[in-house]
């Protein structure tokens, strides 16, 4: 299969790797999620009350879970 070079002489197939295609799809999905979840929500936790957008609250919970997972697995000793 012949590759079509772009303006800089590189082939388009060299630029569009599977990782970049997946990253592009995930970026579109993330932007869609943010744009559809811009409503304000009020979160209450141990007497604290915070108002934030729903997408920011969801992102905060996701990052908290990732951090807990990283800390949990880094404390285990390999067998």
Q: Torsion angle, CA of 69/70/74/75, rounded to 10 degrees?
A: -50
In the structure, what pLDDT confidence band is assigned to residue 28 with cuts at 50, 70 and 90? very high
In the structure, what pLDDT confidence band is assigned to residue 13 with cuts at 50, 70 and 90? low
Domain count, the chain: 2
Containing structural domain, residue 74:
39-79
What's the average model confidence in pLDDT over 5-31?
78
43 and 32 both lie in a single domain: no
Find all residues with CB under 8 Å of 14, minimum gap 6, and list them: 3
31 and 49 both lie in a single domain: no
21 and 54 both lie in a single domain: no
49 and 71 both lie in a single domain: yes
64 and 44 both lie in a single domain: yes
Q: Is residue 6 scored above 70 in pLDDT?
A: no
- pTM, two decimals, is 0.57
47 and 75 both lie in a single domain: yes
In terms of Cβ atoms closer than 10 Å to its own Cβ (0-12, 13-18, 19+), residue 24 is exposed
In the structure, what pLDDT confidence band is assigned to residue 11 with cuts at 50, 70 and 90? low
């Amino acid at each position: 299969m012949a590759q079509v070079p772009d303006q800089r002489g590189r082939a388009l197939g060299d630029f569009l790797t599977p990782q970049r295609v997946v990253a592009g799809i995930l970026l579109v999905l993330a932007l869609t999620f943010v744009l559809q979840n811009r409503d304000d929500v009020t979160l209450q936790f141990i007497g604290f009350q915070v108002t934030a957008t729903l997408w920011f609250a969801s992102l905060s919970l996701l990052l908290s879970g990732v951090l807990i997972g990283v800390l949990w697995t880094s404390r285990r000793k390999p067998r």
